[in-house]
Structure 1
Amino acid sequence: MLLISFVFSFFVVTFVADNMKLVVMANKVKKQAKVKEPIRIRYKAISSGNQSIYLDYYYNGKREYEFLKLYLVPETSLENKEANKATLKLANAIKAQRIVELQNNQHGFSSGGGKSKIHLIEYIKTIANKKRELAGGEERGSYQFYLSLAYHLKQYSGDKTSFKHIDKKYCTGFIEYIKTAKSMLNGNPLNENTQRQYIKRLASVINSAIADEMIPSNPFMQIKPEDIPKGHSAEVCYLTLDEVRSLIETPCYYSNIKNGFLFSCFTGLRFSDVEALTWGKLQKDSEGNTFINFTQKKTQKWENLPVSREAMKFLPERGLASGDDLVFKFQSGGYINSIIKTWAKSAGINKKVTFHVARHTNATLLLSLEVPIETVSKILGHSDIKTTQIYAKVIDKSKRDAVNKLDGLTW
């Protein structure tokens, strides 16, 4: 009896001990399951309706992405489901391999040649060059602005920053930098409008990088709007009809610049389009009316712009010029604005007049003559009527200022 009791007690103790071991092992498994993986599989929806698979690395406080060029397709058939299973199996195999590489420190914290290692500044310069090509080789406008952005990014974080470094912290740091940055041209502090433009342009660059699968998301989407410089509506500089008449009557040593500026006042063409205007683009319809058949340099949109008889007055004599010859032959852009400034001053105009003021003048003249804003928007080639509404606000303000001049006339 004593022996049976001993055997029974032995089995009870053994059973309890074994179960305790199982509980301990189970707890260990649970704890191990809670360990955060340094690499995770993520998905990004793309325009085709598929999902691009990428690896999200997070190690030692750093984040990096590697796009695998593997895609999940909509599971509309059994064949697609099987294809997705095979794709996910491959993605998990790559993930497992990357984890081993990371843990063995074979390649350090690197995704093994992913696009995320491309330098940000080099990417921006590539975009700038594409803009220059679209503008027919002109090194102004968007091209210069992208180069200025590259300059400020280099000042902020050096020229070795790659897309794997672009996160919320990097973007908020750039916002703080740009608030105190100075112009690369004159060393003056940047105004809030310019600060905002640099931030918007960097966000646009990141959106392009998303399309090129260099980064999965835009960190600027995580930043509160109130943390970004607001900017202020810049005052639109334009000429009144009397000021345009003064310019017509005032001599200018460079007649081609004078005629080109006044031609823009009555057509609304940008400087880049006036500069690129050839005689062949000036055409006539069946009724003898002149129009310009051209593609806008800035937007690359095709336009068919009617030309008024008033604007035709400022065209030079064609002579023997061919259809490919330029109508106006200008000097460099900066030099042109200096000439226009001197000319305007001689005409008694105390405004900061540049060639682009001619385009503003065309818009305000048409609106003051009660041309519908939709028509003005089409003449200017605006993609969004909101851009044209800026000029409508200028006209409304001018009317209000005129009415206010009547105040106090009687008592």
Structure 2
Amino acid sequence: MGRPKKQVVMKEPIRLREQVLKNGNRSLYLDIYHNGKRTYNFLKLYLVPETDMSSKIMNANTLAQANAIKEEMILDLTNRIAGIKDKSHKARMPFCSWMGIYAENAKKSCAESSKRWLDRSVEEVASYDSEITLGDVDKEFITGFMEHLASRSALNTDRKKITKSTVFLYLCYVRAALNYAVRESVIPKSPFKGITRSSLSIKEHKREYLTVEEIKRLIATPCHREDIKGAFLFSCFSGLRIYDIMSLHWKDIVKTATHWQVEIIQYKTGVELFLPLNMNARKWLPERPENATAEDKVFPRLTRSYGQTLGTWMKNAGITKDITFHAGRHSFATLCLTAGIDIYTTSQLLGHTTIRHTQRYARIINTKKDEAVSLFDGVFE
């Protein structure tokens, strides 16, 4: 009896590998071996240390995205070897995988802030339906996805509904991914045509803000977390978002003989911001510890888990408005415009990428002007 032949295992031409970085993250890359040559394709996707459920979910989505790119490249390589140019087979892949492929292609020429939204869009599609194929995406799927986004809570501790503008930002990336599929001859036409903002009725959230008198009441009211009180009032007088305050380091506060200013890259937009700090904003910065380094955070204990503390503090101050941390930024914007600062300067102070965002606050101020002028109506009757 002859010795059984050893089974030959065919190696994949493309393998997904990891490289450990100095910060503890793992960079994902593709190891490609074809025609006796080895090349590497770094995907700019990273696995983070799994310290909680959120990081585990993030890594699972990142791995799924990386594997989808790998499978896509294997298919392309196999088809090139076989002389096959038809790309219609790609329509059978999960739509969330195609979103990942589109995202990686789009990241080559987009801003840092857009890269984060691209990743979030892939995660949202995968969370909604990870099984539907690219070829099966239709208007019913898109409408259902919109309704899903509009009805779910925002991903923060306030648990508010996400805004209409955020829903349509996600939809813009879905539409772009479908258009990319058309350009690549994967699908004949996009099912997105005909879907507009009017397709979905979402009530816009009221932009709550605090008046001068309400801010004075908050200053006079104790809060059991002084760091949250200080950070919120700092937002009211600087206009910084909570993520920018959470990541603020002592090195980001630059002092000269005449003034102080914050110099940061904004988390949301990725745009550089040079923000002068007025005396009220400086007042609510904590004292810098003697042993603090330039890399230490200004508000080291501040996290997104502020909701209950903020709500209790507002209640104790007699404020019944539905106030979130972002209301501090709204308050800064309305105070600027009410004080007579022009809309362009206010836009620069807020770090807006377009003045259109600032005009929403101007509409609030115009309403206040209308209310003030209407007081004359009964005076001379």
TM-score, normalised on structure 2? Answer: 0.64
Highest RCO, 1 vs 2 (Cα 8 Å, sep ≥ 6): 2
Deviates more, 1:357-366 or 1:338-347: 338-347
- Partner SS state of residue 378, structure 2: coil
CA contact (8 A) 1:296 1:303 kept: yes
Q: Distance in 2 between matches of 1:268 and 1:214?
A: 46
Q: Distance in 2 between matches of 1:381 and 1:181?
A: 27
Q: How far has the Cα of 1:358 moved from its partner? A: 0.3
Q: Does 1:268 align with 2:239?
A: yes
Alignment partner of 1:171 out of 139, 148, 156? 139
Q: Distance in 1 between matches of 2:201 and 2:328?
A: 28
Q: Distance in 1 between matches of 2:369 and 2:201?
A: 28
Equivalent residue letter for 1:243: E
Pick closer, same or farther for the CA change 1:405–1:342 going to 2, 3 Å: farther
Q: Does 1:119 align with 2:119?
A: no
Runs of 5+ consecutive residues of structure 1 not aligned to the other structure: 1-67, 70-89, 99-109
Alignment partner of 1:281 out of 231, 234, 252? 252
Alignment partner of 1:162 out of 119, 130, 133? 133
Runs of 5+ consecutive residues of structure 2 not aligned to the other structure: 1-74, 155-159
CA contact (8 A) 1:124 1:150 kept: no
Q: Kindly name which structure, 1 or 2, has the bigger radius of gyration based on alpha carbons.
A: 1
2:318 matched residue in structure 1: 348
Q: Percent of pairs identical after alignment?
A: 29
Q: Distance in 2 between matches of 1:369 and 1:94?
A: 67
Q: Does 1:205 align with 2:184?
A: no
Q: Does 1:225 align with 2:200?
A: no
Equivalent residue letter for 2:351: G
Q: Does 1:296 align with 2:256?
A: no
Q: How far has the Cα of 1:118 moved from its partner? A: 3.7
Q: Distance in 2 between matches of 1:142 and 1:254?
A: 36
1:256 matched residue in structure 2: 227
Q: Distance in 2 between matches of 1:181 and 1:304?
A: 34
User: How many residues are treated as equivalent by the alignment?
Assistant: 289
CA contact (8 A) 1:280 1:324 kept: yes
Q: Distance in 1 between matches of 2:185 and 2:167?
A: 21
Deviations 1:313-364 (A, max 9, x none): 001110221111110123441x312211111111111101111000000000
Equivalent residue letter for 2:171: L
Deviations 1:47-103 (A, max 9, x none): xxxxxxxxxxxxxxxxxxxxx99xxxxxxxxxxxxxxxxxxxx9xx856xx6xxxxx
Q: How far has the Cα of 1:200 moved from its partner? A: 4.4
2:344 matched residue in structure 1: 374
Deviations 1:236-261 (A, max 9, x none): 11001111111111100100000000
Equivalent residue letter for 1:401: E
CA contact (8 A) 2:151 2:161 kept: no
1:53 matched residue in structure 2: none
1:242 matched residue in structure 2: 213
Alignment partner of 1:322 out of 281, 293, 318? 293
Q: How far has the Cα of 1:288 moved from its partner? A: 3.1
Pick closer, same or farther for the CA change 1:357–1:125 going to 2, 3 Å: farther
Pick closer, same or farther for the CA change 1:336–1:149 going to 2, 3 Å: farther
